Structure 1
Amino acid sequence: MKIVVLEGSPNKHGSSNLLADQFIRGAEEAGHTVEIIDAAHADLHPCTGCIYCGYEGPCVQKDDMEQFRKQILNADMMVFVTPLYYYGMSAQLKILVDRFCAINSSINRKHMKSALLAAAWNADDWTFESLESHYRTLVRYLNLDDQGVVLGYGCGTVSMTKHSPYPDKAYELGRSV
């Protein structure tokens, strides 16, 4: 299976990307091919809502999305990876997700698999409610097959994350898909 990991953290060595690394390790050990889209460090512009794409591309903007489009549509699974910023996904990942406007139908027809990996400093039981709700809406809207979610409660630093159960959970999720 081809997996594309959509990383949304501006901190390349942060907690959410640590979870992504462990997921990737597990997925590759299971025989899958993995590509990473680093949305936080890409030349990627917000959707303008101009609908030039007609909801199925191409987009009028000339940035990294054209390459990402190919990677996403060649994949069998998308893994959304984000730190929790103000109880939602990072703006960097949200820009990428908003640009799905030009590939909605293609994603929907593929019936891709998906997963969510996220990390947050906060450890309250309600911390991830909004992010999970948004992810579940994407799963439903894009006709994705949810394979699992790893939510790293209390993972504000890489040190905290490394010593938590969440990297192992991300690894096991990668191995299981």
Structure 2
Amino acid sequence: MILFATPVYWWGMSAQLKLIIDKCYCRGLQLKNKKVGTIVVGGSPVDSIQYELIDKQFDCMAKYLSWDMLFKKSYYATARDELEKNKDSMNELEGIGKNL
């Protein structure tokens, strides 16, 4: 299982995550059929286009690399610890963690 997590940066993933993904490409078949999931946190409501763009990008990468996309979760938070204070979001994330 590979969990990709990133803040939204200019309607996309962070440069740090992109670097990790680039390294996954060079591994080629070693990571084939891996189960993957994404967690994205941004400063716009979750129905904003930025989350859809990141989801579509991961869909394309998962298809190309033969990954099994298990989940894609997006969250809205603009202040430090805001997500941590949201009980529904934290329960959802804890559930994901328990099922890994």
TM-score scaled by structure 2?
0.86
Partner of 2:83: 161
Structure of larger gyration radius: 1
CA distance in 2, matches of 1:146, 1:122: 24
- C-alpha RMSD over aligned residues: 1.5
CA distance in 2, matches of 1:124, 1:115: 17
Point out where structure 1 has 5 or more consecutive residues left out of the alignment.
Answer: 1-76
Q: Residues 46-95 of structure 1, C-alpha deviation per residue, up to 9 Å, x if partnerless? A: xxxxxxxxxxxxxxxxxxxxxxxxxxxxxxx1000100111111011101
3-state SS of the aligned residue for 2:66? coil
- Identity score, percent: 21
1:125 matched to 2:10: no
Q: CA deviation at 1:141?
A: 1.3
- Tell me if structure 2 keeps the 8 A contact 1:151–1:166: no
Code of the aligned partner of 1:107:
L
Change (3 A) 1:139 1:162: same
- Tell me if structure 1 keeps the 8 A contact 2:34–2:67: yes
Q: CA deviation at 1:124?
A: 5.2
CA distance in 2, matches of 1:150, 1:101: 23
Between the two proteins, the alignment pairs up a number of residues equal to 98
Q: CA deviation at 1:133?
A: 0.6
TM-score scaled by structure 1?
0.51
Point out where structure 2 has 5 or more consecutive residues left out of the alignment.
Answer: none
- Tell me if structure 2 keeps the 8 A contact 1:150–1:169: no
3-state SS of the aligned residue for 1:85? coil
Partner of 2:74: 151
- Tell me if structure 2 keeps the 8 A contact 1:82–1:93: yes
3-state SS of the aligned residue for 1:128? helix
Partner of 1:139: 62
CA distance in 1, matches of 2:25, 2:34: 16
Change (3 A) 1:144 1:124: closer
CA distance in 2, matches of 1:124, 1:146: 19
CA distance in 2, matches of 1:140, 1:79: 16
- Tell me if structure 1 keeps the 8 A contact 2:42–2:75: yes
